[in-house]
A and B are shown apart, each in its own frame.
Chain A
Amino acid sequence: MDRNEQRKQQYRDYVEQVTPKHNLLKNMAGAFLTGGTICLLGQVILNFCKAQGLDPDVAGSWCSLLLVLGSVILTGFNLYPKIARFGGAGTLVPITGFANSVAAPAIEYQKEGQIFGIGCKIFTIAGPVILYGIITSWGLGLIYWAFGFLRG
């Protein structure tokens, strides 16, 4: 490595040192609280639906539906980003985060038209999750099948 490159590497290391980072513990606490609250809400919906006499599968669908609806409405009123600023991964990981990542581009790109705007760009953020989610589930399915096959 020549001197010049060394100098640049030094600078980059130094940048790493002096760049402030979010407090990890605080972030984790925020994520735990927010994510926990969302999941608690889901549990409440689920239990309520079951108490109404719905079978568990149907109750589960209602739970997902209502959480997604809530997330999309909050996204529409531009409130979801405010929660996410505090909640971080706590808002990202549950199904509400997925709904937000689909609704946000739909709102933003609506101005570029139904086809080239919403149509092409609605999955710009969620696309990778969908693609790699499907591939992963396919892989896991294969493993599951292989194990079943081995056990006879």
Chain B
Amino acid sequence: MEGGTGKVEEKKKQAEMTGKQSIRFDEAVHLLCAASIAGKKEGEGPLGDRFDQVFEDPFFGKATWEEAESAIQRAALEKVLEKTGMQEKEIRFLFGGDLLGQLIATSFGVKELGIPLFGLYGACSTCGEALCLAAMTVAGGFADHVAVVTSSHFGGAEKQFRFPLEYGNQRPLSATWTVTGAGAFLLGKRGGKVRIPEVTPGKIVDYGVKDSLNMGACMAPAAADTIEQNLKDLKRKPEDYDRIITGDLGYVGKRLLLELLEEKGIRIKEQHMDCGIEIFDQEKQDTHSGGSGCGCSAVTLAALILPKLVSGEWKRVLFVPTGALLSTVSYNEGQSVPGIAHAVVLEHNETGLQQ
């Protein structure tokens, strides 16, 4: 091996294992740019005018829900490239994921871009998982620019996990509404208004909740675990964050999360926010517990959270997308619904360039 021990030492310095499961990058990774594309219902919600693009046709001009979701992913990626003036070939790796079986929205969405791909499945936490891995890849010196894209589509998710859309049934009040949309992000070594100094990948936490229509309750213990671990590992208090933002716990999950953490003496009531709650108007849009899906946290991050970090209104937030790890098979076979949550620390960077 060339360079001998000197080179190895140099590599090691680029990141540090912190506490039990967190990573602190010696040089923070920069989040250079983001794009969000969302469906009609999301466009009518509270974040409607913040998305880069809202499309009226749920099929996005395609023939099926699955093709539509692929097209949305691709459009989000193209949007982020357009904003930065970069080309596909300048992106070294792509980390992408969605909710569909065998990740077909991602595979068919990005196949023509020619970017080396890591397809990821973390249910609705995929955006967090992808950002963790993308940041690690950049921090480790394995790439100068990487992209992240995640998506979900109401029609495709309903078809796969529940019933065809035209079937008449009542949704329980604890059910969430899968967000139709995709968020894409570009990460690099320097120059962003937002940086990622630390990440805390989460572990699976299963309290044995079996109700797949109460995913907030399934995921809240995992979110509590990851948040607690992040604070412990980085020796922080909730006040050190302007916001602690979970992915899609919804109203039911939010309540449970706050109480689970309260039991351990951690109060995050002041800081806590949930993308699933932000994205829809519960009263007017009949979305019950809130929004969910890989697209939910991604478009909320791109459209709501990042702009506030760019402007400096928020200095530091903890972004914690949450996922419920089930399939219709595991559910029908009587298994519980385990949860997972990955935390990404996002900071305002004064010296970055606006993009």
- Residues of A at the B interface (CB closer than 8 Å) are 8-9, 11-12, 14-15, 18-22, 27, 75-76, 78, 80-85, 87-88, 91-92, 97, 100-101, 103-105, 107-109, 111, 125
* CB of B61 within 8 Å of the partner chain: no
Give 20 new A-B contacts, CB below 8 A, not counting A18-B256, A81-B165, A108-B159: A11-B207, A12-B208, A14-B259, A15-B217, A18-B255, A19-B252, A20-B252, A22-B170, A81-B167, A81-B169, A83-B168, A85-B168, A85-B170, A92-B168, A97-B168, A100-B167, A104-B163, A104-B166, A107-B164, A109-B164
* Across-interface contacts of B168 in A (CB, < 8 A): 75, 80-85, 87, 91-92, 97, 100, 104
B164 touches A19 (CB 8 A): no
Asked if B221 is an interface residue, CB under 8 A from chain A, the answer is yes
With a CB–CB cut-off of 8 A, which chain B residues contact A21? 172-173
Is B174 among interface residues, defined by CB-CB distance under 8 A? yes
Tell me if B166 and A107 are in contact (CB < 8 A): yes
Contacts A80-B168, A105-B167 given; indicate if A22 touches B173 (C-beta within 8 A). yes
Q: How far is the CA of A20 from the CA of B211 in the complex (A)?
A: 13
5 inter-chain pairs at a CB distance below 8 angstroms, sorted by A residue, are A9-B208, A11-B209, A19-B214, A76-B166, A108-B165
Most chain-A Cβ atoms within 10 A of its Cβ — which of B217, B252, B259? B217
User: CB of B355 within 8 A of chain A?
Assistant: no
In the complex, chain A residues whose CB is within 8 Å of the CB of B173:
19-22
What chain A residues lie within 8 Å of B217 (beta carbons)? 15, 19
Is B166 in contact with A18, judged by CB distance below 8 angstroms? no
Interface of B is mostly: loop
The distance in angstroms between the C-alpha atoms of A58 and B3, with both chains bound, is 92
Whether the Cβ atoms of A12 and B167 lie closer than 8 Å is no
By beta carbon, the residue of chain B nearest A109 is B164
CB <8 Å contact, B207 and A8: yes
**Is the CB–CB distance between B207 and A101 below 8 Å?**
no
Chain A residue, CB-CB nearest to B174 = A19
Contact B170 A88 (CB under 8 A): yes
Q: Which residue of A lies closest to B210 (CB)?
A: A12
Q: Does B330 contact A (CB under 8 A)?
A: no
B64 within 8 A of A: yes
Interchain CA distance A84-B167 in the complex, whole Å: 9
B329 within 8 A of A: no
**Contact status of A104 and B174, CB under 8 A, knowing A12-B208, A15-B209, A92-B169:** no
Beta-carbon contact of A100 and B166 below 8 Å? yes
Mask, B154-165, CB within 8 Å of A = 1, is: 000001000111
Chain A residues touching B, majority SS: helix
B 153-203 contacts with A by CB, 8 A: 159, 163-174
B252 touches A81 (CB 8 A): no
Cβ-defined contact, B172 with A22, below 8 A: yes
Q: Are A104 and B170 in contact (CB under 8 A)?
A: no
Residues of B within 8 Å of A75, CB to CB, are: 166, 168
**In the complex, chain B residues whose CB is within 8 Å of the CB of A82:** 168
> With A12-B209, A100-B166, A104-B165 in contact, is A111–B214 under 8 Å at CB?
no
The CA of A8 and the CA of B171, in the complex, are separated in Å by 26
Contact of A125 among B63, B167, B259 (CB under 8 A): B167
**Contact, CB under 8 Å: A111 / B63:** yes
* Most B-side CB within 10 Å, residue of A15, A22, A88, A109: A15
**Chain A, residue nearest B155 (CB):** A108
Q: For B252, what are the chain A residues with a Cβ–Cβ distance below 8 Å?
A: 18-20
Residue of B nearest to A75 (CB): B166
CB pair B207 A12 closer than 8 Å: yes
Chain B positions 194 through 234: 1 when the CB is less than 8 Å from some CB of chain A, otherwise 0: 00000000000001110100100100010000000000000
On chain A, the residues within 8 Å of B211 by CB distance are 15, 19
A78 proximity list for chain B (CB < 8 A)? 165-166
**Neighbour of A8 across the interface among B63, B64, B208, CB < 8 A:** B208
Complex contacts, A20 vs chain B, CB 8 Å: 173-174, 252
A100 to B166, CA, bound (A): 8
Docked Cα-Cα span, A108 to B317, in Å, equals 41
Complex alpha-carbon distance, A80 and B70, angstroms: 29
- Which residues from chain A contact B256 at a C-beta distance below 8 Å? 14-15, 18
Q: Given the complex, which residues of B lie within 8 Å of A11, measured CB to CB?
A: 207, 209, 221, 260
